């Protein structure tokens, strides 16, 4: 019960953003339907090493190279945070992946913000690794809720 009200309120706010996108672009639903979802089972996505030090070293290189490319392409709308805190990664490996360090996937993560769904779709052409694409109004709601 305690969690239900905030979750319902969150969904309502997210739905408002999606409705606004539908109003601002009459082809919104068509664009959404045009996306081919290609997802691997998360359990199939593995790091090449089970050594967390190696994974962090590789993530640092990816952050440097891809972070620079994302900023060059998307400017201030590219958000490139630091690598995941080591303690958080170790906890996630223990709790979620039962000690299998090669299953962690988000040591380096980034976000790119878009004003419209059409811009977001165009951004997919640049999606070559795990990257979060966000509608700016959704991020505003997310920040207000959390």
Q: What values do phi and psi take at 71, rounded to 5? A: -65, -40
How much is the pLDDT for 7? 84
Per DSSP, the residues of 63-121 read HHHHHHHHHHHHGGGEE--PPPPHHHHHHHHHHTSTT-GGG---SS--EEEESSHHHHH
Q: Label residue 104 by pLDDT band (50, 70, 90).
A: very high
User: Average of pLDDT values for 125-144?
Assistant: 69
Confirm if 102 and 50 have CB atoms less than 8 A apart: yes
| The pLDDT of residue 39 is above 60 | no
Q: Label residue 5 by pLDDT band (50, 70, 90).
A: confident
User: Average of pLDDT values for 42-47?
Assistant: 75
Q: Label residue 33 by pLDDT band (50, 70, 90).
A: confident
How much is the pLDDT for 31? 84
| The pLDDT of residue 100 is above 90 | yes
Backbone Cα Rg of the chain: 18
C-alpha 29/C-alpha 6 separation (Å) is 27
Of the two residues 9 and 43, the one the predictor is more confident about is 9
């Amino acid at each position: 019960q305690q969690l239900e009200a905030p979750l319902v309120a969150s969904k309502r706010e997210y739905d408002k953003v999606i409705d606004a996108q539908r109003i601002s672009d009459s082809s919104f639903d068509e664009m959404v339907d045009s996306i081919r979802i290609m997802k691997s089972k998360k359990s199939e996505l593995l790091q090449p090493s089970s050594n967390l030090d190696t994974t962090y070293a590789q993530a640092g290189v990816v952050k440097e190279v891809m972070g620079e490319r994302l900023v060059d392409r998307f400017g201030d709308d590219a958000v490139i945070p630091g690598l995941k805190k080591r303690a958080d990664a170790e906890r996630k490996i223990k709790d979620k992946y039962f000690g299998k360090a090669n299953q962690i996937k988000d040591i380096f993560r980034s976000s790119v913000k878009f004003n419209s769904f059409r811009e977001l779709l165009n951004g997919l052409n640049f999606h070559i690794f795990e990257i979060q694409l966000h509608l700016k109004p959704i991020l505003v709601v997310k920040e207000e809720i959390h």
